[in-house]
């Protein structure tokens, strides 16, 4: 697991995976699960990857793209089923989506093209925004790819966008605070990454304190108090991953199981946060929302 053991989102993902296994007939009597929670710490991730591989399990679930690479560095034989992984082909985890070809397969997180919708959504909710900071984790490729897409649509929306690489809590606070002071009509977009998920409460609190309209990549951010989120369901892929684990335990090979892309994207708007920011969300946007938090 790429997050901490006390992370509500992480708990929900793990529970969905367990439920999926139980529905397929796997329980305490016929399967043993070893769990490691990295908390977004790269050193922990490498250490836990080595620990799990040393146990010689039948299959490993890698929840989050940040933990897939370290696992595949220590094993190219033990089957790995991944979730929340943005671009497994570019990362070298699989040969291609239809025929992974190695010991890993699973479920992708987002396609880079949808990042344009984050900026469009920000402009629709907060028309006065003229500058936007895009927070990204420089250690993962998706932040760069998502920013490139955002940058490509910015001129048509008359918004100036700038990237900001973030690595830890102090850098996040310094970056967001500095941007807010220099941009009176500013907005914020948080690209998807394990780092973003780990520091979501800090970023949401900063956006509220500094009066920055902000768009996030997953429902959990809006539920936690973020203004709005647009992204794929992050829980169900873990339930679906149980199906791939089941098939592998019954003899199928990851190389033959196609990598699956998200089939559903959710738009979630937090009206309470919008009111606190003095924003009037257009009724047409509310009508399109999959969930509105009062």
- 125 and 66 assigned to the same domain: no
Are 12 and 67 found together in one domain?
Answer: yes
30 vs 111, residue with greater confidence: 30
**Distance, first Cα to last Cα, the chain:** 31
Same domain, 180 and 68: no
> What is the Cα–Cα distance from 190 to 288, expressed in whole angstroms?
22
CATH number, domain with residue 47: 3.40.50.2300
Average pLDDT over residues 96-103: 96
71 is a domain residue: yes
Round to whole Å and give the CA distance between 83 and 2. Answer: 10
Indicate whether 222 pLDDT > 80.
yes
pTM, full prediction: 0.86
Dist CA 135 CA 247 (whole Å) = 38
Q: How confident is the model at residue 140, as a pLDDT?
A: 76
pLDDT at 111 over 80: no
Q: How many domains does the chain have?
A: 2
- Number of Cβ atoms within 10 Å of the Cβ of 4: 16
Q: Looking at the structure, do residues 146 and 276 belong to the same domain, yes or no?
A: yes
The answer to whether 68 and 62 are in contact (CB under 8 A) is yes
Q: Are the beta carbons of 204 and 225 closer than 8 angstroms? A: yes
Lowest mean pLDDT among 33-47, 60-74, 137-151, 258-272: 137-151
17 pLDDT above the threshold of 90: yes
Closest CA to 265 of 116, 99, 57: 116
Examine the domain organization and report whether 225 and 124 are in the same domain: yes
Is 118 a domain residue? yes
| Total number of residues shown for the chain | 294
- Chain CA centroid to CA 200, Å: 11
Q: Is the dihedral of CA 39, 43, 46, 50 positive or negative?
A: negative
Together in a domain, 238 and 216:
no
Q: Locate tokens 């490729």: which residue?
A: 141
- Residue 280: exposed, middle, or buried by beta-carbon count in 10 A (0-12, 13-18, 19+)? exposed
C-alpha to C-alpha distance for 190 and 214, rounded to whole angstroms: 8
Asked if residue 273 is part of any domain, the answer here is yes
What are the structure tokens assigned to 130, written together? 């003229």
Q: What's the confidence (pLDDT) of residue 109?
A: 84
Contact at 8 Å (CB) between 273 and 294? no
24 has pLDDT over 80: yes
Query: What's the confidence (pLDDT) of residue 214?
Result: 98
- Whether residue 141 sits in one domain with residue 69: no
The whole-number pLDDT of residue 197 equals 84
Q: Are residues 53 and 195 in the same domain?
A: no
Q: By the 8 A CB rule, do 102 and 76 touch? A: yes
Residue 2 included in any domain: no
Domain membership flag for residue 251: yes
3 within some domain = no
- Average pLDDT estimate for 192-207: 90
Considering the domain architecture, whether residues 140 and 228 belong to the same structural domain is answered as: yes
Within-domain flag for 1: no
Task: Quote the pLDDT of residue 192.
Answer: 85
Residues 104 and 127 grouped into a single domain:
no
Q: Are residues 69 and 185 in the same domain?
A: no
Range of the domain at 80: 8-108+234-263
Whether the per-residue pLDDT at 155 is higher than 90: the answer is yes
For the chain, how many helices (H) and strands (E)?
12, 10
Task: Give a yes or no: residue 199 inside a domain.
Answer: yes
Q: Distance between alpha carbon 140 and the CA centroid of its chain, in Å?
A: 12
Instruction: Say if residue 212 is in the same domain as residue 270.
Output: yes
Q: Flag whether pLDDT at 110 surpasses 80.
A: no
């Amino acid at each position: 697991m790429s997050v901490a053991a006390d992370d509500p989102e992480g708990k929900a993902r793990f529970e969905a995976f367990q439920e999926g296994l139980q529905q397929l007939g796997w329980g305490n009597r016929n399967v043993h699960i070893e769990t490691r929670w990295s908390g977004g710490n790269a050193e922990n991730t490498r250490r836990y990857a080595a620990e799990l591989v040393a146990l010689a399990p039948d299959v490993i679930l890698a929840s989050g793209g940040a933990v897939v690479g370290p696992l595949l560095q220590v094993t190219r034989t033990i089957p790995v089923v991944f979730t929340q992984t943005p671009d497994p082909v570019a990362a070298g985890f699989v040969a291609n989506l239809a025929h992974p070809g190695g010991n890993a397969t699973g479920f992708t997180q987002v396609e880079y093209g949808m990042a344009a919708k984050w900026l469009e959504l920000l402009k629709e909710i907060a028309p006065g925004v003229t500058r936007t900071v895009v927070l990204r984790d420089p250690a993962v490729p998706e932040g760069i790819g998502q920013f490139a897409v955002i940058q490509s649509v910015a001129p048509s929306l008359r918004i100036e966008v700038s990237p900001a690489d973030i690595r830890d809590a102090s850098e996040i606070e310094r970056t967001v605070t500095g941007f807010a002071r220099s941009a009176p009509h500013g907005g914020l977009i948080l690209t998807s990454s394990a780092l973003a998920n780990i520091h979501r409460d800090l970023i949401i609190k900063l956006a509220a304190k500094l009066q920055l309209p902000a768009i996030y990549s997953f429902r959990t951010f809006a539920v936690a108090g973020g203004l709005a989120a647009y992204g794929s369901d992050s829980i169900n892929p873990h339930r679906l991953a149980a199906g791939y684990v089941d098939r592998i335990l019954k003899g199928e090979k990851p190389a033959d199981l196609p990598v699956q892309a998200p089939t559903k994207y959710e738009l979630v708007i937090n009206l309470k946060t919008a009111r606190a920011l003095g924003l009037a969300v257009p009724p047409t946007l509310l009508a399109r929302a999959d969930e509105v938090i009062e």
